[in-house]
Structure 1
Amino acid sequence: MIDGVIFDKDGTLFDFRASWGAWAADLLDLLARESGMDARVLGAAIGFDPVARRFAPDSVVIAGTSGEISAALAALVPGADARDLEDRMNRMAEGAPMLPAVDLPAVLGGLRGRGLKIGLATNDVEVTAHAHLAAHGVTDLFDYVAGYDSGHGPKPGPGMCAAFARQLGLDPARVVMVGDSRHDLEAGRAAGMRTVAVLTGIAGAEELAPHADAVLPDIGHLGGWIDALAG
């Protein structure tokens, strides 16, 4: 029934709040010191409260690209260049400590043991995605890695998902896209794939369920769901 799985990264492989809260707070603190602006005002532009370290459900950080995040911030900072800010953000992101949502080597290894091809489609940049996978020793478990800058477009467009199936010779109907946001699920469905939502991001089950074939607590439950399909 399933020959391949393509994952989102942030909020899916890695717990979103724990991983990106510190990065966002550090970024806003840096920009506030440089510009003299209030970090809370800057945070409002990207849907993040730097005091509570809480993301709004519609925060651009959750499903947007780094270019969209930098554009939102640069619009507030006098003289800021969005492209330069994006480059700085991405350098900070490469070293940001990511907290895995599950035991990634065990879970991904279990999926590989089932003979599945594994891919990654993130609205982050590709170099940062590779850095985060390498930091947790799971790069070799992926057959395909794409960021929004890899030439296939960002999610919710289907480009990254469609390229995964095309490059690995998979029938999209036998691939599942796994993510924590509507952007992920809409991208998978637009590519003709099954979709599974996980709750390790910001969105709740009630928001994700209408767009998913299943809603799971985390990707550790994915293998059992796939086995149930086959059985």
Structure 2
Amino acid sequence: MAEILGVLFDKDGTLFDFKATWQRWTLGFLTDLSGGDAAKRRALAKAVGFNADTCKFERDSLVVAGTPADIAEALLPHLPGQGREGFISYANQAAARATMIEACPLRPLLRGLSARGLALGVATNDAEAPARAHLRSTGIEDVFDFIAGFDSGFGAKPAPGMCKAFASRTSLKSDQIVMVGDSRHDLLAGRSAGMKTVAVLTGMAKASELEQFADAVLPHVGHLPAWIEAQMPVDLPLKSAHKSSGSEVRQAPV
């Protein structure tokens, strides 16, 4: 097995808890778009797989793995007079102001991985500008060697473009990198690029939906150092920056 030298993270649902971060924000965003019209808000919510009455996402919500362009295509039929590019710009600016809820304490985790010599990156289907704003707001933007969104020129997941770009940027072989994500899109992108894949359960998907695409399923990214250490040669211990809560790591079929 090749030594792990790089980690590429998804953002929402991976670095940040998806429900805790985006459910309340989405309700407020749709309320603003609807001008307070409850029927219009329900129609907008239904278009993206969100229940405005319960403030919860459907499991297959477009918001979970879709790009801002995908979301715009779903919402614009309900917003006559709105242009595509103008709406995407408005949505990105609004999303950049969202309060991000970390899946675990991220800065010590990431600094520990970086101190071990691992190259770190983010590949998100969000736009790059709000993604950088989110990473900056939680004090972790500077830890990453590579940050790409759907609009960064490498395509969107599940296509492997962002994964391949990270490998090229860091001069690593694909099998030296692990892609970490909370959705099938993330894991399929990593596998298509020839990377190892690890799923986390801080998004919308259940372990049973992800394990066939992952080398392991972890409760959250705080468990990643222990998993990486277990893959390393015995003479290359990883100094874990985040103590595991003791939850079991589920090894998934490869």
Does TM, scored on the shorter chain, surpass 0.5?
Answer: yes
Deviation at 1:37, TM superposition (A): 4.7
Which structure 2 residues correspond to residues 56-75 of structure 1 after superposition, within 5 A?
A: 56-75=58-77
Contact 1:43–1:49 at 8 Å: present in 2 too? yes
Q: 2: CA distance between counterparts of 1:35 and 1:176?
A: 45
d(CA) in 1 for partners of 2:38, 2:191? 44
The aligned counterpart of 1:82 is 84
- Corresponding residue for 2:179? 177
Unaligned runs of 5+ in 2: 235-254
2:155 maps to 153
Aligned to 2:109: 107
Letter of the 1:117 partner, please give it: A
**Residues paired across the two proteins, number:** 231
Deviation at 1:30, TM superposition (A): 1.0
Q: Secondary structure at the match of 1:10?
A: coil
Please list the CA deviations of residues 156-201 of structure 1 after superposition, one character each: whole Å capped at 9, or x if unmatched.
0000010000111001001000000000000000111000000000
Any unmatched runs of 5+ in structure 1? none
Deviations 1:82-114 (A, max 9, x none): 221111110101111010111001111111121
Identity across matched positions, percent: 50
Residue type at the aligned position of 1:67: A
Q: 1:29 aligns with which of 31, 35, 47?
A: 31
The AA in structure 2 aligned to 1:32 is S
Structure 1 stretches of 4+ moved >3 Å: 34-37
Q: Which has the higher helix share?
A: 1
What corresponds to 2:128 in structure 1? 126
Q: Cα gap change, 1:87/1:35 in structure 2, threshold over 3 Å: closer, same or farther? A: farther
Q: TM-score, normalised by structure 2?
A: 0.88
Residues in 1 aligned to 2:38 and 2:57: alpha-carbon distance in whole angstroms: 23
- The whole-number CA distance in structure 2 between the counterparts of 1:125 and 1:37 is 29
The corresponding residue for 1:20 is: 22
* CA distance, structure 1, for counterparts of residue 157 and residue 95 of structure 2: 19
User: Matched residue of 1:130: which SS?
Assistant: helix
Indicate the larger mover: 26-35 or 142-151: 26-35
Q: Which residue of 2 aligns with 1:197?
A: 199
Q: Report the CA distance between 1:38 and its aligned residue.
A: 2.4
Q: Deviations over 1:26-77 (max 9, x none)?
A: 1110111177852111100000112211111111100000011011000222
2:50 is the counterpart of 1:43: no
Q: CA deviation at 1:140?
A: 1.4
TM-score norm. by structure 1 comes to: 0.97
Q: Is the 8 A contact 1:35 1:77 kept in 2?
A: no
CA distance in 1, matches of 2:37, 2:191: 42
Give me the whole-angstrom Cα distance separating, in 2, the residues matched to 1:112 and 1:207. 30
| SS at structure 1 position matched to 2:121 | strand
Counterparts of 1:115 and 1:157, CA distance in 2: 27
**RMSD of Structure 2 on Structure 1 (CA):** 1.2
Amino acid at match of 2:108: A
